[in-house]
Structure 1
Amino acid sequence: MDFAHLALARDPHDRLGLHRTDDAWLDERWADDAARVLVVSGTRVRPRDGALEWVPTAKAPDGLRILLGDRDGTTWWAVVVDPALAKAEPDQWFPLRGLLPFLTGEAMATAPLVFHALGLAEWHWATRFCPRCGGTLTSRAAGHELACEQCGKVQFPRTDPAVIMLVTAGEPGSDDERCLLGRGAVWPTGRFSTLAGFCEPGETLEDAVRREVLEETGVVVGEVTYFGNQPWPLPSSLMLGFHGRAESEEIRLDDDDVEEARWFTRDQMREETAAGTLVLPGGVSISRSLIEHWYGGPLPGSW
């Protein structure tokens, strides 16, 4: 089965990490007429004519230059400018989640570049002062490091590991096998997804799966197997997908984040998605891939 979420990272770019401190090399690549730039206002991007706009460097505004890398012989950059630009036109500039509809078809090939650009833009936005001494930070290494001007401590971008899991019960492959989905407290009725949560310090990914499922639904999980992963810089996560086998099935909702949780058989899932009473995450989400992998094929409808 072809999983849609993997398309977001299927054709990665060469990040050219060894050249980030070579100013002469960076200037030469910036001067290349073929180079392309994504303009980011704070953490937002403005699509034009229904697509993300990558401009030549000669048309890029002044701002923080971030080297993204090389893909198909082209050097790709981001330039981060004052967030006031997006604030002045809030209906035209979108955060990453709002850009996902533009990352379809041929444009999906640029998704790793967009994720790279906005992940770093978000990091620069959130990391204003040195966490050690409170000093001023200076960007270097083509936007991939922040160095404190007072104590010299260097900060690097952080990625938070998050687990996302499809938990199943019953005889595998049987008509009675069912999967566990939950609905967030602020979601509309009928919208369900796989459970997810962040890995805590000193915790394995498998234990994070078991803990999160237990905390959110009261269901005990035993065996945990790896499925795949997806970059998800909303703002700085890496989603690690797992399958879990339930050792109990009674649902107990003690977590305020989960409003409702249900077990679904394949027949129930097919009937309810067709009727529109069950709405699942969009196709680019690893959650959708986990569900459809278990179901055995594509399902109708999405958020």
Structure 2
Amino acid sequence: MTFPHLSLVADPHDRRGLHRTDDAWLEREWADPAGRVLVISGTRVRPGAEGLEWLSTSEAPDGLRLLLGIRDEVTWWAVIVPGEVARAEPDRWLPLRGLLPFLAGDRPGEAPLVFHAIGLAEWHWSHRFCPRCGGALLPRAAGHELVCADCGKPQFPRSDPAVIMLVAAGEPGAPDERCLLGRNHSWPEGRFSTLAGFCEPGESLEDAVRREVLEETGVAVGEVRYFGNQPWPLPSSLMLGFHGRALSEEIRLEDDDVEDARWFTREEMRRQAADGSLVLPGGVSISRSLVEDWYGGPLPGSW
């Protein structure tokens, strides 16, 4: 079975991390007319009529250069320009979530480049001052490092580990086996998804799964099995997918983030997804892959 979320990480680029501090190599690659550049205003990108626009290096505006790497013998870059550019045309410049429909098409390898670029842009936007002394942070290493102008402490991009889980109850594969889905109070009627939450300091990923499910729904989880992962720079998460086996089935909603949670059999899920009363996560998300892996195949409808 092909999982839909893998399309966003397929055919990744060579990040060339060892060249990020080689100024001569960087200048030589920037001078190559074959190089391609994604322009980011703050943390937003302006797509064109046929998808994302990659400029040549000679067409790129002045700004902070980010080396993304090499793919298909082409060097790929991003340039960050001030956020005022996007604010002047708010309807044309989109955040990463608005770009996802452009990244699910027939241009393999583009999504990892865009995730890399916007993830760095989000980091630069949110890390302007040193957390140790409050001094100004200056970029180096082709945008992959910040160093304090006052105390010299370096800062590096980080991804926050978040667990996302499909919890099932009953005999595996049996007709009455059920999976647990929840919904946020801000979502449209009928939209449900797998549960998720951030891993806390000193906590294993498996224990994070058990804690989050218990806190959000009151359901105790025993066995936890790793499924896969997906980079999700919205703004800086790494989604770590798991399947869990419930030890209890009574639902108690005590977390304000979860408005409703329900158990669904495969037949209930198929029927409700087909008639639109159940709206499942989008195909590019690992949440969708977790649901369809448990269900055993593709399902109709999505966000």
Aligned partner of 2:166: which letter? L
Aligned to 1:162: 162
Aligned to 1:250: 250
- TM-superposed CA distance for 1:108, in Å, is 4.4
Hey, what's the Cα distance between the residues in 1 that align with 2:108 and 2:300? 21
Q: When the two structures are superposed, what TM-score results if normalisation uses the length of structure 2?
A: 0.99
Q: How many residues get paired?
A: 303
Hey, what's the Cα distance between the residues in 2 that align with 1:16 and 1:89? 34
Which 5+ residue runs of structure 1 have no aligned equivalent? none
- TM-superposed CA distance for 1:266, in Å, is 0.2
Q: Which portions of structure 1, spanning 4 or more consecutive aligned residues, are displaced by more than 4 angstroms?
A: none
Task: Output one character per residue of 1:52-71: Cα deviation in whole Å (capped at 9) or x when no partner.
Answer: 00010000000000000001
Aligned to 2:92: 92
Aligned to 1:151: 151
Hey, what's the Cα distance between the residues in 2 that align with 1:27 and 1:226? 43
Aligned to 1:73: 73
- TM-superposed CA distance for 1:109, in Å, is 2.3
* Matching of residues 47-196 of structure 1 within 5 Å: 47-196=47-196
Aligned to 1:29: 29
Aligned partner of 1:121: which letter? A
Task: Output one character per residue of 1:101-149: Cα deviation in whole Å (capped at 9) or x when no partner.
Answer: 1012223420000000000000000001000000011000000000001
Hey, what's the Cα distance between the residues in 2 that align with 1:53 and 1:233? 20
8-17 or 118-127, which moves further after superposition? 8-17
* Matching of residues 209-224 of structure 1 within 5 Å: 209-224=209-224
Task: Output one character per residue of 1:263-299: Cα deviation in whole Å (capped at 9) or x when no partner.
Answer: 0000000000000000001000000000000001101
Contact 2:7–2:104 (CA under 8 A) maintained in structure 1: no
Alignment root-mean-square deviation, CA: 0.6
Aligned to 1:272, the other structure's residue is in SS state helix
Is the counterpart of residue 43 in structure 1 residue 43 in structure 2?
yes
Task: Output one character per residue of 1:181-223: Cα deviation in whole Å (capped at 9) or x when no partner.
Answer: 0000111110000000000000000000000000000000000
Hey, what's the Cα distance between the residues in 1 that align with 2:212 and 2:176? 25
Q: Quick one: percent identity of the two aligned structures?
A: 77
Hey, what's the Cα distance between the residues in 2 that align with 1:67 and 1:218? 46
Aligned to 2:262, the other structure's residue is in SS state strand
Contact 2:146–2:156 (CA under 8 A) maintained in structure 1: yes
Aligned to 1:230: 230
Aligned to 2:107, the other structure's residue is in SS state helix
- TM-superposed CA distance for 1:7, in Å, is 1.5
Aligned partner of 1:246: which letter? A
214-223 or 108-117, which moves further after superposition? 108-117
Is the counterpart of residue 287 in structure 1 residue 279 in structure 2?
no
